[in-house]
Amino acid sequence: MCQKFAIVAALCLGLMGCGHAPHSSGPSGEVRAIEQVVETFRAAILNKDKPAYMRLFFSDQAQAIGWQAVVDDAKLAQIQRERPQAIKARPIPTNNFIALIDSVLASPTLEEERITNLKVDTDGEIAAASFDYAYLSDGKLSNWGKEQWLLVRTEQGWKIFSVVYTIRDPRP
């Protein structure tokens, strides 16, 4: 009976520790590979490098990649002054990963997405990456928020499968 109790106690103690993972978790080589995907994304925007940017995604078809913005309440109130029907989150087919890089390429100014507080969680096959971002156009803060990606590891390496992000107005 004591042996059964010891086994049950050991199992319970082991399960209790499962909820306390570090900010980045998973095989260290895979975490570093995902960090490199994030850095390549950042550099591709800064350098207006569409081929490098496009290679980061699971598909080259806009409809195959989840891409969703959610505006905060202050930004929504600002938008609703011009468009009262606006809502916090709605699908906009023209807002997608290809439209982002095309707008960067079309811009005569320097475009930059600054990324901080990156956290990665992976089992080596799928991953979630979360970070704070600040988007600057010509050195001026355009918007900021939090971004979350889902990624999959393919034979060609880690690929972005979906992106969800908040848009916060730079003005207080």
The 10s digit of each residue's pLDDT in 26-50 is 678 999 999 999 999 999 999 999 9
Quick one: which of 87, 147, 68, 83 has its CA closest to 114?
Answer: 147
The 10s digit of each residue's pLDDT in 74-120 is 999 999 999 999 999 988 889 999 999 999 999 999 999 999 999 99
For residue 66, give the H/E element and its range.
strand 66-71
Distance (Å, whole) CA 13 – CA 95: 47
More confident position, 17 or 45:
45
Domains of the chain, first to last: 25-167 (3.10.450.50)
